[in-house]
């Protein structure tokens, strides 16, 4: 399998914080039009694509398999405009403030996009004390400078406008690097699986491109209640801390060593029979995989698993370096392994 990274680069560059996933959704609707039997958008903004399975032998019932990868990215909303025209922001998702110093951002209003700079308040190095330089500011200290007079800012920007970090995605060796690989890389995998399915899958497939995952798995909750799946498969990224300064036992996964099959995170324990089934399938098909245990984190899989009376669920996890930064990095081989394993299961 040879992947064309252009769609992933495009997906990474699109802006879509929780509740503002419109650009991502519209791009996907265009891509999906010839790949599935129907698409719909629910009240939460989830895009739900349906592909009917083939008729089973002997009158058996088809499973209803729900896949879910989230469209949203971590970012900000404008929460306050001060008298000098600086914007204070509300974080949407988990940020490490160490990654936010002097970042280019885009503020999207109802009618236009405005370039800005996100930075914390305080003194630059030239006039700061040693104590000042040793502190890491809290998120509440950050503001956006639009380079405009205060009255113009107040005329053009309002509370609730979207603020996203700027970063053009690029290929770097065997890595695809950019913002929002969490979870646009999994969105890309899900899209490629639908593109590469030849003929009807084994079971009915509901491919959900969900909203508001970064603020509490919200879109996947309502989608799971609507779809009523009998099997759930979350698609998300996971830590690959295979870099200097971290002990080997803390790496979680490693880039280039295969797709992660989640055993545990702080939101779910994957259904063991599915973990075993996917691991056995990967070994039969010669697909590289890693069993993943993540101490803290959650995915759409948890929302599916706990819907209604409960759903057998696991998550396929894409190893990713530098998560929740603008240089999130995924490996081409891991993308290919994830697509191959999911195709093998659905076929």
Beta bridge partners of 49: 39, 207
Whole-number Å distance between alpha carbons of 320 and 126: 36
Whole-number Å distance between alpha carbons of 210 and 51: 17
Residues annotated catalytic, as ranges = 213
CA angle, corner 93, sides to 103 and 240, nearest 5?
80
- Rg of the Cα atoms in the chain: 21
CB proximity list for 176: less than 8 A, separation 6 or greater? 5, 8, 9, 12, 169, 170, 185, 329, 330, 332, 335
CB 263 within 8 Å of CB 271: no
Tokens of residue 253, six digits = 């996964």
Residue 245: CB atoms within 10 Å = 5
Whole-number Å distance between alpha carbons of 159 and 82: 11
CB proximity list for 24: less than 8 A, separation 6 or greater? 11, 14, 16, 71, 72, 184, 187, 209
Whole-number Å distance between alpha carbons of 45 and 161: 18
Whole-number Å distance between alpha carbons of 35 and 209: 14
């Amino acid at each position: 399998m040879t992947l064309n990274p252009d769609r992933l680069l495009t997906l990474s560059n699109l802006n879509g914080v929780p509740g503002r996933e419109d650009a991502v959704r519209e791009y996907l609707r265009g891509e999906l039009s010839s790949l599935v039997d129907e698409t719909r958008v629910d009240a939460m903004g989830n895009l739900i694509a349906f592909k009917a399975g083939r008729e089973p032998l002997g009158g058996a019932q088809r499973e209803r398999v729900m896949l879910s990868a989230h469209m949203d990215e971590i970012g900000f909303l404008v929460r306050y405009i001060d008298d000098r025209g600086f914007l204070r922001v509300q974080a949407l998702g988990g940020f490490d403030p160490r990654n936010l110093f002097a970042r280019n951002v885009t503020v999207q209003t109802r009618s236009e996009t405005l370039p800005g700079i996100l930075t914390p308040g305080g003194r630059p190095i030239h006039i700061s004390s040693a104590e000042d330089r040793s502190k890491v500011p809290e998120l509440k200290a950050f503001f956006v400078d639009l380079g405009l007079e205060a009255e113009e800012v107040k005329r053009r920007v309002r509370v609730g406008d979207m603020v996203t970090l700027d970063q053009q995605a690029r290929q770097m060796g065997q890595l695809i690097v950019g913002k929002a690989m969490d979870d646009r890389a999994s969105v890309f995998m899900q899209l490629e699986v639908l593109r590469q399915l030849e003929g009807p899958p084994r079971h009915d497939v509901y491919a959900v491109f969900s909203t508001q995952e970064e603020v509490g798995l919200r879109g996947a909750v309502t989608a799971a209640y609507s779809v009523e799946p009998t099997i759930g498969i979350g698609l998300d990224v996971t830590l690959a801390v295979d870099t200097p300064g971290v002990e080997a036992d803390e790496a979680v996964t490693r880039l280039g060593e295969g797709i992660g099959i989640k055993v545990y995170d702080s939101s779910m324990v994957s259904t063991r029979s599915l973990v075993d089934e996917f691991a056995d399938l990967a070994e039969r098909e010669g697909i590289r995989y890693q069993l993943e245990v993540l101490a803290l984190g959650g995915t759409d899989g948890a929302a599916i698993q706990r819907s209604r009376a409960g759903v057998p669920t696991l998550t396929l996890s894409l190893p990713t370096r530098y998560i929740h930064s603008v240089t999130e990095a995924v490996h081409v081989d891991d993308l290919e392994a994830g697509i191959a394993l999911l195709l093998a299961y659905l076929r």
